[in-house]
Amino acid sequence: MLLESSILEDGTTVVSLQGRMDVSGTQEIELPLTTRTAISKAAIIVDLSGVDFLASIGLRALVSNAKAQELRGGRMVLCNPQPAVEKVLASTGIDTIIPVFRTRSAAQEYLLPVLRKLRR
Amino acid sequence: MARTSRRLRLVARLDQVGQATHWAMDLAENQGLGDALRFRIDLVLEEALTNIAKHAYDEGEPGFVEIAWQPGRNDGVILQICDWGHPFDPADFMPAAPAQDLASAQPGGLGIGLIRQFADQIDYARIGDRNRLTLMLKPESESPDAALPRQDATAVPQRRERASPSSASEYPLDALQQAQLLRGVPPDRIADLMHDCRRKTLCSGDYLIAQGQINHQVYIVLSGQLSVALLSDGSRVELALDAGECVGEMSVIDGKPASASVLAKTDAEVLAIPEEVFWSRLVTQPRVARNLMSMMSQRIRRQNAHELEILEQELRYLHLAKEIGVAHDIQMSMLPQPPLLDGHSTVDVDSLIQTAEVVGGDFYDTFSLDEERICLIVGDVSGKGIPAALFMMRVLTLLRTHIKKKRRLEKSLFKVNNLLRQNNPTHMFVTALIVVVDLTSGRATWVNAGHSEPVLLRSSASKANRVKPLRAPKGILLGVQANIEFKAARVSLRKQDTLMLYTDGVTEAENSTQEQFGEERLMDYLGSRPFDSATDLVRGVREQLNLFVNGAQASDDITLLALVFREPKRRRVTRRPKQSP
């Protein structure tokens, strides 16, 4: 799997994932994903547009990082899932505990209050 | 070439899961399954195997997992996943209720739930010492793949013409100006030229021209996409035609039936130019004639490039087929040829090997350690194809070299196992049964490395006790874990006793109803009549197997190796000179 991250002008961190989030794929990005999403308090968008397969091991990585970020006082959300991946998120109920957006701009808008809180 | 095997056996370990899903996706593609179904197969297999890799076996004692693929009804699939680990019924597993919020969410534990949601039917059975999970998946009826009509170039052309009459004012000048054939022709000329042409709309899947049909029209694609499908030698070549391109001119030019079928790939609109108009008003325009010639030469170039590509592919295929043939020859030449152990007149040995694929994983070996001791080996290497053949050669060489060193058999195996672990990046492994027979005493010493147990046929025992599998500590397979201590077992062979070694392809041979031959049937047959030679025995077993499978395609190699202990060998006595008292 590939992982790319950048920080937007408003301070939101965007982590883009690419590839199969199966056992081997998830292992490849587990460490960099955690360092970018769970180590320090931030507003994070994980862009899933390049993820074409998502298994339970991948869900586990997303949930544990989102949870860690929440405990730090920030928030991690997901955006742009492919239809099949969206189905996996929905059928496991993960989309009810981690917000999922169709577009990156919708995710950014949702994170605005979090960013304001972080700046204070 | 061999078909992709529909059965896969792996070590149940997380790093092997990808290999299995990859294998399944290849089969799904071969079967022409749609994206949505493929995703679901990928997911349930990934989850089932992850679960087995994590929980089925105790840590440090990896076992197997075996997956069988079967095409189900209505383009569905049945996956059967077996492991020999702790009993586990997914129905007993209660997935945690979805968490209310992130703070109370537990990462993990989602796998079984995913299997339940993405498989259409789940069946679990504990059969003897194995878990068998059967997952059935059907295509979703609402999936876009299922909704697409099947296109078949040999089908009867159907026509749904609409809006045929048209007046000059309806000519889509914009689209026509872009057409290859009319490039550079002034718009007013085009309108004039197009007098007496018709517009025609097509729905996706409609035929415009069927291969072999007589055609008197040249068509210009105005919108949408058409596809030219050419059937020759059973293969199908498809070319896309986009707006602006033209079709039908070939049969109009040479007056022969259409060389290919043309059908609408999307909803589309074309302009039909009748033959007379084409000849009298179009080709007479120098600009159009030039466009036509340049189109033709482009087409010839494209065709040449395509043929070159096909030729290259064929050469590559031939090369590969030859390579596989060579691997098979090398592999077979590594195995000793009958008569086996010819120099030892007190034993009679024969073998039989039947490979399911061109390059299989089974092997056997027979050799002498010295004048009094001989060694017999039967084994099965994981995987198929050239990598398995190369690994097998390594196994054979290592076993021969180290067993001939005459240290204790257990020690030799300890060493071979550690050597096989090295430089083995793809985690190949091998099961083997190794027997050393002392021809003077009749003592047979054997080690079982994850293989089927050998069978002993006692010549002297009562009929009920004549045939027995030799149960003994079953060691772990070779090449998986380092520093394994193997245990040897011993049995004494008496006059006319027979020892038979075999691979699991024998007991797991299936007939057309997926019933296995099984150990019981094998034992029953071996006890049913006396065998007067090793050859008689291996041929007899093969006949029984052939009767049982009754023409069903073998999914695994079959290997048999039999030894009849005719009589103990006389020890050569070296006389010492008599000493005077």
Element containing residue B375 per DSSP (H, E): strand B373-381
Q: How confident is the model at residue B157 (pLDDT cuts 50, 70, 90)?
A: very low
Residue B21: name the closest of B4, B44, B5 by CA.
B44
- Asked if B237 and B173 touch (Cβ cutoff 8 Å), the reply is no
Could you tell me the end-to-end alpha-carbon distance of chain A, in angstroms, rounded to an integer? 36
What is chain A's mean pLDDT, rounded?
91
For testing contact with chain B, the best of A23, A30, A37, A59 (most B CBs within 10 A): A23
User: For chain A, what are the domain ranges?
Assistant: 2-111
If residue A6 lies in a helix (H) or strand (E), which one and from where to where? strand A2-7
| pLDDT of amino acid B158 | 34
Using one digit for the tens of pLDDT, what is the confidence trace for B39-51?
Answer: 999 999 999 999 9
Q: Do B17 and A70 touch (CB under 8 A)?
A: no
Nearest to B45 by CA among B2, B84, B77, B89: B77
Give me the residues of A, 4-23, that contact B with CB < 8 A. 22-23
For residue B259, name the pLDDT band (cuts at 50, 70, 90). Answer: confident
What confidence category does residue B147 fall into, taking pLDDT thresholds of 50, 70 and 90?
Answer: very low
pLDDT at residue number A40: 87
Establish, for the pair of chains A and B, how many residue pairs have beta carbons separated by less than 8 Å. 73
Q: Where are the beta strands (DSSP E) in B156-310?
A: 198-202, 207-209, 217-223, 226-232, 235-241, 246-247, 261-264, 268-274
The C-alpha of B429 sits at a distance from chain A's nearest C-alpha, in angstroms, of 21
Looking at CA atoms only, how far is residue B206 from chain A in angstroms?
A: 30
Q: Which has the closest alpha carbon to B39: A54, A5, A10, A2?
A: A54
What is the Cα–Cα distance from B12 to B64, expressed in whole angstroms? 5
Assign B364 a pLDDT band (cuts: 50, 70, 90): very high
Chain A positions touching B114 (Cβ under 8 A) are: 55-56, 88, 91-92
Nearest to B102 among A23, A88, A97 (CB): A97
E strand spans, B386-484:
430-438, 443-449, 455-457, 467-469
Q: Cis (ω within 30 of 0) for the bond into B339?
A: yes
How many whole angstroms separate alpha carbon B284 and alpha carbon B3? 56
- Is A23 close to B118, i.e. CB distance below 8 A? no
Distance from CA of B305 to the nearest CA of A (A): 33
What is the spatial distance between Cα A34 and Cα A42, in angstroms, rounded to a whole number? 13
Structure-model confidence comparison of residues B533 and B96, the more confident one: B533
**Rounded to a whole number, what is the distance in Å from the CA of A37 to chain B's nearest CA?**
15
Contact between residue A24 and residue B20 where contact means Cβ atoms under 8 Å apart = no
Q: Cβ contact (<8 Å) for B21 and A66?
A: no
Residue of A67, A70, A92 lying closest to B113 (CB–CB): A92
Query: Would you say A76 and A98 are in contact if contact means Cβ atoms under 8 Å apart?
Result: yes
* Span A20-32, pLDDT tens digits: 999 999 999 988 9
Q: What is the ipTM of this complex?
A: 0.88
Q: In this structure, how many other beta carbons lie within 10 angstroms of the beta carbon of residue A110?
A: 16
- H/E stretch holding B576 reads none
Query: What is the C-alpha to C-alpha distance for residues B430 and B118, in angstroms, rounded to an integer?
Result: 35
Residue of B nearest to A71 (CA): B103
pLDDT score for B21: 94
Minimal Cα distance from A93: which residue of B?
A: B98
Separation between Cα atoms, residue B26 and residue B144, nearest integer Å = 21
Which residue is it, tokens 């009749």? B442
Maximum distance among all Cα pairs of chain A, rounded to whole angstroms: 40
Per-residue model confidence (pLDDT) at position B236: 67
Q: Verify whether the Cβ–Cβ distance B50 to A98 is below 8 Å.
A: no
Query: Nearest CB to A88: which of B43, B101, B103?
Result: B43
Q: Return d(Cα B271, Cα B219) in angstroms, integer.
A: 5
CB B47 to CB A98 under 8 A? no
CB atoms within 10 A of CB B357: 20
Q: How far is CA A108 from CA A40, A67, A79, in A?
A: 19, 19, 10
Asked if residue B512 has pLDDT above 60, the reply is: yes
Helix (H, G, I), strand (E, B) or coil at A78: strand
Contact A42, A73 (CB under 8 A): no
- Residues B289/B294/B297/B299 CA torsion (nearest 10 deg): -100
Query: Which residues lie closer than 8 Å to B65 by C-beta, 6 or more apart?
Result: B9, B10, B11, B12, B20, B49, B52, B53, B56, B81, B82, B83
Determine whether A22 is exposed, middle or buried from the number of CB atoms within 10 Å of its CB (0-12, 13-18, 19+). buried
Question: Within the 87-106 window of chain A, which residues sit less than 8 Å (CB to CB) from chain B?
Answer: 88, 91-94, 96-98
Query: Residue B151: pLDDT band by 50, 70, 90 thresholds?
Result: very low
| Rounded (10°) CA dihedral B434, B440, B443, B444 | 10
Q: Classify B554 as helix, strand or coil.
A: coil
Mean of the pLDDT values across residues B386-391? 77
Residue B385 has pLDDT above 90, yes or no: no
The string of pLDDT tens digits covering residues B538-549 is 999 999 999 998
Angle at B325 between CA B324 and CA B330, to 5 degrees: 95
Mutate to test the interface with A, among B46, B52, B140, B142 (most CBs of A within 10 A): B46
- Beta carbons of B99 and A56 less than 8 Å apart: no
Cβ pair A22:B110 closer than 8 A: no
B392 Cβ partners below 8 Å, 6+ apart?
B331, B334, B361, B363, B381, B430
pLDDT of residue B167: 41
What is the reported pLDDT for B403? 94
Residues of chain A contacting residue B99, judged by C-beta atoms under 8 Å apart: 93, 97
pLDDT exceeds cutoff 80 at B530: yes
How many angstroms separate the CA atoms of A89 and A93, rounded?
Answer: 6
Statement: residue B32 has pLDDT above 70: yes
CATH of A2-111, one of 3.40.50.1820, 3.30.70.260, 3.30.720.210, 3.30.750.24: 3.30.750.24
pLDDT digit string (tens) for B286-313?
Answer: 889 999 988 888 878 887 887 888 888 8
> Between chains, do A98 and B101 touch, taking CB under 8 Å as contact?
no
Under the banding of pLDDT at 50, 70 and 90, the label for residue B69 is very high
Would you call B101 and A57 a contact, using CB atoms and an 8 Å cutoff? no
> In terms of CA atoms, which chain B residue is nearest residue A61?
B107
Q: Walk me through the domains of chain B, giving residue ranges and CATH numbers.
A: 7-99+108-147 (3.30.565.10), 168-305 (2.60.120.10), 335-565 (3.60.40.10)
Measure the CA angle with vertex B508, ends B502 and B511; round to 5°: 130
| CB-based contact A56 B47, cutoff 8 Å | yes
